[in-house]
Amino acid sequence: MTAGQPGPQPVGPLGTAERAPAPDLARGAMLLLIALANTPFYLYGRAHSEAGFHPVDGSPVDRVVQAALIIGVDMRVYPMFAFLFGYGLAVIRRRQAEAGVPDARAFAVLRRRNLWLIAFGLVHALLLWGGDVLGAYGLCGLVLTWLFLRRSDRTLLVWSALGTVVLTAFAAFSLYGAWAVVVEGVPVQGGGLPAFVTASASATDPLTAALDRMLLWPFIVLGQGLFGVAVPVAMLLGVWAARRRVLERPAEHRRLLWPAAVVGVAVGWLGGLPHALAHVGVLPELGTVVWAFTAVQMVTGLVCGIGYVAVFGLLAARLEGRPPGRAASAVTALGRRSMTGYLGQSVLCAPVLAAWGLGVGGLLGSAGMAVYAVGVWTVTVAVAVALERAGRTGPAEQLLRRLVYRPGR
């Protein structure tokens, strides 16, 4: 390259034929879990748990659904999302390096991508969903790209371990506080979720609901994106895994994926079991300290989310070299359009379920809401399959790529 000539331009995202199936399969399935995790937020007009959006009453079927979601979904999905997000950041940087793109220009691509995700999240929260995570992941990606993406594997693992220790210590202190309440009779004043967290679901005026969402969104961005610890830790581990192409070559990493899957899912489900039993009244003596399980859910959710990713890595390894089948192909198609699928869930949920829309959320129970969540996910799968057959990407992904990979940038 002679003086004055521009260097190699950043390369765009992978084409369909180049993409590894495991991350997309995991993203597509993750969106089902996200729908199941988010839709209980719309169950307004009834008393909620102090440690989540689940109502404290309901039919026996509702209680079974609540317990299943607490054990297998709540605070387990977003670490999974963060891991895959970090994995994607590392893949983008690797592709730029392989194309000879200077590091400064590659990092400019990542910076623009994360900034635009924050902007997308802001609009998403303003119009539909205050619990948006695009802003949180964009902010976390911005900070971690700056601080860690050039750092060694050892540094990534050390900081991941430190974050996990912090979360574990927080959980241990919470459990000690719960023990003091139950065994020693230390008085405690119940709090529950702050009113502004759920206000937008029950607001009947669209403008008021939008203002409520905008009050909530900054707390989500900062709390989940940085200070919640689980998301940064999962993202760092995703970067580490991408450097080893764990999900792109899962068959070569079965010795890593099997323990991660078994231990991760077991710890996650066992960690959520006491919370679930307390919530549904099987362990009523723990009802006064259900708040303590929030911290336990965070640390076991981190382990469980990574375990879920490992499960889909093993599934991809099993499918390697054979036709994936219609179901796996459909879920993978959604995973390739995960941002469109995620935003599409809000389009299908908020105007129907919130009080400012049709208000259906005030009529459903937990079981009915879970059925609705599965239906929403199924619709997004069908749309993704139609786009796949037409050879088109998702509209959200297409817009983001145009903004991030504009010529000359």
CA distance 372 to 9: 45
Question: How many Cβ atoms sit within 10 Å of the Cβ of residue 154?
Answer: 9
From the list 41, 54, 71, 36, the residue with the least C-alpha distance to 273 is 71
What's the gap between Cα 291 and its chain centre?
22
Per-residue pLDDT at 185 exceeds 70: no
Per-residue pLDDT at 130 exceeds 50: yes
Predicted pLDDT of residue 183: 67
Amino acid at 171: A
Predicted pLDDT of residue 22: 86
In three-state secondary structure terms, 101 is coil
pLDDT digits (tens, 9 = 90+) for 390-406: 999 999 999 999 999 87
From the list 298, 134, 157, the residue with the least C-alpha distance to 241 is 157
Amino acid at 380: T
Predicted pLDDT of residue 2: 43
| Residue 55: DSSP 8-state | B
Length reported for the chain? 409
Per-residue pLDDT at 175 exceeds 90: no
CA distance 76 to 34: 9
Per-residue pLDDT at 3 exceeds 50: no
- Averaged pLDDT, 232-257: 95
Per-residue pLDDT band for 266 (boundaries 50, 70, 90) equals very high
From the list 46, 53, 24, 231, the residue with the least C-alpha distance to 130 is 53
**Lowest mean pLDDT, pick from 54-58, 233-237, 352-356, 367-371:** 54-58
Per-residue pLDDT band for 73 (boundaries 50, 70, 90) equals very high
- Averaged pLDDT, 316-340: 89
First to last CA, the chain: 18
Q: What is the percent of the chain where pLDDT is above 90?
A: 71
Per-residue pLDDT band for 182 (boundaries 50, 70, 90) equals low
From the list 43, 37, 134, the residue with the least C-alpha distance to 85 is 134
From the list 75, 70, 46, the residue with the least C-alpha distance to 58 is 46
Per-residue pLDDT band for 15 (boundaries 50, 70, 90) equals low
Predicted pLDDT of residue 46: 85
Q: Is 403 exposed, middle or buried (0-12, 13-18, 19+ CB in 10 A)?
A: middle
Per-residue pLDDT band for 284 (boundaries 50, 70, 90) equals confident
Q: Is 46 exposed, middle or buried (0-12, 13-18, 19+ CB in 10 A)?
A: exposed
pLDDT digits (tens, 9 = 90+) for 298-326: 999 999 999 999 999 999 898 877 777 89
- Averaged pLDDT, 192-213: 87
Residue-averaged pLDDT of the chain: 90
- CA gyration radius, the chain: 21
DSSP H stretches of helix in 203-229: 206-222
> Which residues fall within 8 angstroms of residue 238, CB to CB, at 6 or more apart?
82, 83, 84, 85, 86, 87, 88, 89, 90
Per-residue pLDDT at 193 exceeds 70: no
CA distance 250 to 26: 13
> Which residues fall within 8 angstroms of residue 276, CB to CB, at 6 or more apart?
66, 67, 68, 70, 71
Question: Of residues 26 and 21, which shows the higher confidence score?
Answer: 26
Predicted pLDDT of residue 8: 73
Per-residue pLDDT at 4 exceeds 70: no
Per-residue pLDDT at 342 exceeds 90: yes
Residues in a beta bridge with 48: 55
283: its two tokens: 């362990």
Question: How many Cβ atoms sit within 10 Å of the Cβ of residue 204?
Answer: 11
CA distance 193 to 20: 40
Predicted pLDDT of residue 366: 96
What's the gap between Cα 242 and its chain centre?
18
pLDDT digits (tens, 9 = 90+) for 349-380: 999 999 999 999 999 999 999 999 999 999 99
Question: Of residues 337 and 197, which shows the higher confidence score?
Answer: 337
Per-residue pLDDT band for 271 (boundaries 50, 70, 90) equals very high
Phi, psi of 49 (to 5 degrees): -65, 155
What's the gap between Cα 10 and its chain centre?
28
Token pair 């070569």: residue: 252
Q: How far is CA 156 from CA 149, 279, 330, in A?
A: 9, 37, 34
Question: Of residues 285 and 263, which shows the higher confidence score?
Answer: 263
Predicted pLDDT of residue 187: 53
**Lowest mean pLDDT, pick from 4-8, 36-40, 265-269, 354-358:** 4-8
Q: What is the percent of the chain where pLDDT is above 70?
A: 92
Question: Of residues 198 and 331, which shows the higher confidence score?
Answer: 331
CA distance 220 to 196: 12
